[in-house]
Amino acid sequence: DSIPQGIAAIKALGAEHGFAVDSTEDAARFSDAVLARYRVVVFLNTTGDVLDTGEKAAFERYIRFGGGFVGIHSASDTEYKWPWYGRLVGTWFASHPQIQRATVHIANPDHPSMKGLPALWERTDEWYNFRSNPRDAVQVLATLDETTYSGGAMGADHPIVWCQDIDGGRSWYTAMGHTQESYAEPLFRVHLLGGIESAAGFSGNCKSGEGKP
């Protein structure tokens, strides 16, 4: 369970870079009044069904009114029966092999969540395969080189990080971040900070269909 480490890392980023961070597992906070206080909502390793009908409607309104969403790792293993959420994330989780080292190819080095990362980023994580390739609807920021690990199921074009402008708001998703160790990695923290800034609307090109290898 890396959620405590993830919360601590995001709170540390907030303290370092001047933004406030609140954490909760209380779905009742997904109301118009509460969500309006935030520029970004982060789903950190969520799984399963987490919101009821009214909370879902409030979250959809939040995005339509210009809110930002960050999904980390198993955020794509969440709310399979909510089609809008699938669009917000970009796709859904399908499977994963064992935790192992692999190489990530940076497709858009100018995006804030990619700046400062090596063009070939080698790291250890739980590498997701997805039900579909989200490329046509999102801006792919990084892909996974399936020749560098075992268990990949998406072929030569395996998006692993992406963002999009959607329904008046913004979405950024990284499939990385399963392990506790991830949140202590300086480069991964840079990655998360840039994703949060992108979802907040500070910078970052998130036009769809770009970044193809």
* Secondary structure E strands in the chain: 40-44, 68-72, 93-95, 100-106, 120-125, 129-130, 139-145, 159-166, 169-174
Would you state the pLDDT for residue 206? 85
Would you say 198 and 204 are in contact if contact means Cβ atoms under 8 Å apart?
yes
Q: Is residue 212 part of a domain?
A: no
Domain range for residue 116? 3-199
Q: What is the pTM of this model?
A: 0.96
Domain presence at residue 137: yes
Q: What is the CATH number of the domain that holds 149?
A: 3.40.50.880
Task: Confirm whether 131 is domain-assigned.
Answer: yes
How many domains, in total, are found in the chain?
1
The pLDDT of residue 213: 46
- Estimate the crossing angle of helix 186-199 against helix 3-17, to 10 degrees: 70
Whether 209 is in a domain gets the answer: no
Residue 186 lies in a domain: yes
Q: Is residue 211 part of a domain?
A: no
Residue 166 lies in a domain: yes
Given a cut of 70, the residues of the chain with pLDDT beneath it are: 208-213
The CA distance from 9 to 68, in Å, is: 19
| CA–CA separation, 71 and 45 (whole Å) | 8
- C-alpha 194/C-alpha 114 separation (Å) is 7
CA–CA separation, 178 and 2 (whole Å): 7
